[in-house]
Structure 1
Amino acid sequence: MNSKEIFYPEAKFGGFTDIDGTVAFFNRVNSLLESSFTVLDVGCGRGAYGEDSVPLRKNLRIIKGKVAKVVGIDVDKKAQDNPFLDEFHLIQGDAWPINDNSIDLIICDNVLEHIDDPDKFFAEIGRVLKNGGFLCIRTPNRWSYIALGATLIPNRYHSSVTSIVQDGRKEEDVFPTVYKCNSVAKLKRIMKKSGFECVVYGYEAEPSYLSFSKVAYLFGVLHQRFAPRFLKPAIFAFGKIKKEIA
């Protein structure tokens, strides 16, 4: 029996725990979807979630087929091979290759930590979203032990280290981190400034990234159960934009 099934025995039935972060985040994303929506997946990647061995989690993550169109944008050309997109555009510069007021919902999953200029990033979000459109963000918490530990490792080594501690994570899917807007307070502030009615909070799933060591995994379980919310490894944010009508 592996560590996950010892501390989270419900995982034996379905392959996921009751606190699975991907299930929790994308369950809420799915609850916001409408069949007429155009969804923008920012930093869409190559669609590695299609390799997920847990059917429920994989199906929650795949948005294509649930809405009218899924558009993906990324700085990496390899993302054009993502099979779960209806349309792909390569980001070249600060401006996104997306029309104004054309998007109903934006997914930004583990991307914000790579953004060097959050103000420009949120300006683009506000430009492309329709009035009343939704923004869904999941990102690491700058003040968690995971992010603090990552700052001790030079970015050039992040891909090799991450692929070791996170089972199944490939080096090609790891990018440099800067953590410019990765606290609950900062993210809430910039979302409100950008015109969003929002909720921003800390979240901690089972410590799957520590499964390389039983001792480390136990530490992660204790942290998950007893650490204050502002230290939780992940931040979830959901917002609805209200634009001023001229």
Structure 2
Amino acid sequence: MNWQKKYIKKYYSPEKGWIDGTTQFHNLCRGFISETSKVLEFGAGPSNKTSQFLSGISAELVGLDVDLEVKENKFLSAAFTYDGSFFPFDAGTFDIVVSNYVMEHVAQPLLICKEISRVLKPGGVFIFRTPNFFHYVPILSYFFPMGLANWVRNLPDDAHDPYPTVYKFNSETKCREILNAAGFEIIELHLVEKEPSYGMKSRLLFFPMMAYERMVNATEKLRQFRVNIFCAAGKK
């Protein structure tokens, strides 16, 4: 067992009650998606764990992305590309829209949120996970080369480079402001700090990042410095 797996097992074991970020996000989705739901995964990309999860709990999963890679996603019942602005769907097509680490890449978040609202049925829900800019990881990724994110996470050399980020939606205040302007009401919004995945390259990174995780999770006064925003917003 390498040191990364050993440390995750020691400090972030599910046996000790720890829930990883992806599982927590999927649990949030599960609370709104039923076996009769028609779901749009916005920014679905190629085959991934979230697409697999969503396809298993919904009646139909449709994917939308600016990248043709979405056509390779085997968990989608249908895959569409678009130009980054208007969605190629009629109004009121979907029960749920889900995006997982997508909104940080969106240059026009108000336009996109309005499109999400348009394609949702009345009472439909938009569920997303996106980084909180007021955390050291998004701040560093904004100013440093994109490939650095893969390096600090100890990903393989052939891993896909991160897509460019703009962070125009990425604070609790911005989320609330833009969602309200697009016709949504917040149902749930959580700021979440999880295991230090960006500390997997070196123990010298892992332990300071773990200390940070312990600190911001210790008190709600520091919630604004947690790395992720998890949100479910209902169409008014």
Shared fold by TM > 0.5? Answer: yes
- Between the aligned partners of 1:26 and 1:129, the Cα distance in structure 2 is 20
In structure 2, what residue type is equivalent to 1:200? L
RMSD, matched Cα: 2.0
How far off is 1:6 after superposition? Answer: 2.7
Cα distance per residue 1:184-234 (max 9 Å; x no partner): 111012112222221323101111221111121111111111121101011
How far off is 1:17 after superposition? Answer: 6.8
Contact 1:3 1:211 in 2 (8 A): no
- Between the aligned partners of 2:183 and 2:161, the Cα distance in structure 1 is 32
Q: In structure 2, what is the equivalent of residue 52 of structure 1?
A: none
How far off is 1:136 after superposition? Answer: 0.6
- Between the aligned partners of 2:166 and 2:202, the Cα distance in structure 1 is 27
Contact 1:73 1:90 in 2 (8 A): yes
Q: In structure 2, what is the equivalent of residue 19 of structure 1?
A: 19
Q: Does 1:124 align with 2:115?
A: yes
- Between the aligned partners of 2:56 and 2:63, the Cα distance in structure 1 is 14
In structure 1, what residue type is equivalent to 2:7? S
Give secondary structure in 2 for the equivalent of 1:181: coil
Structure 1 residue corresponding to 2:174, chosen from 186, 189, 205:
186
- Between the aligned partners of 1:189 and 1:71, the Cα distance in structure 2 is 28
- Between the aligned partners of 2:66 and 2:159, the Cα distance in structure 1 is 16
Q: In structure 2, what is the equivalent of residue 166 of structure 1?
A: 153
- Between the aligned partners of 2:194 and 2:43, the Cα distance in structure 1 is 22
- Between the aligned partners of 1:128 and 1:19, the Cα distance in structure 2 is 32
Q: In structure 2, what is the equivalent of residue 38 of structure 1?
A: 38
Q: Does 1:78 align with 2:69?
A: yes
Give secondary structure in 1 for the equivalent of 2:54: coil
Structure 1 residue corresponding to 2:205, chosen from 199, 216, 224:
216
Contact 2:37 2:95 in 1 (8 A): yes
Give secondary structure in 2 for the equivalent of 1:239: strand
Contact 2:132 2:171 in 1 (8 A): yes
Q: In structure 1, what is the equivalent of residue 219 of structure 2?
A: none
Q: In structure 1, what is the equivalent of residue 229 of structure 2?
A: 235
Summarize the Cα distance change of 1:238–1:29 in structure 2 as closer, same or farther, 3 Å threshold.
same
Contact 2:114 2:183 in 1 (8 A): no
Q: In structure 2, what is the equivalent of residue 53 of structure 1?
A: none
- Between the aligned partners of 1:181 and 1:215, the Cα distance in structure 2 is 31
Point out where structure 2 has 5 or more consecutive residues left out of the alignment: 217-221
Contact 1:26 1:61 in 2 (8 A): no
How far off is 1:65 after superposition? Answer: 3.7
Give secondary structure in 1 for the equivalent of 2:55: coil
Summarize the Cα distance change of 1:175–1:215 in structure 2 as closer, same or farther, 3 Å threshold.
same
Contact 2:93 2:121 in 1 (8 A): yes
Contact 1:110 1:140 in 2 (8 A): yes
Give secondary structure in 2 for the equivalent of 1:63: helix
Summarize the Cα distance change of 1:61–1:183 in structure 2 as closer, same or farther, 3 Å threshold.
farther
In structure 1, what residue type is equivalent to 2:160? E
Q: In structure 1, what is the equivalent of residue 98 of structure 2?
A: 107
Structure 1 residue corresponding to 2:196, chosen from 200, 207, 221:
207
Moved segments of 4+, more than 4 Å: none
Aligned residues: 225
Q: In structure 1, what is the equivalent of residue 127 of structure 2?
A: 136
- Between the aligned partners of 1:6 and 1:65, the Cα distance in structure 2 is 31
How far off is 1:93 after superposition? Answer: 4.3
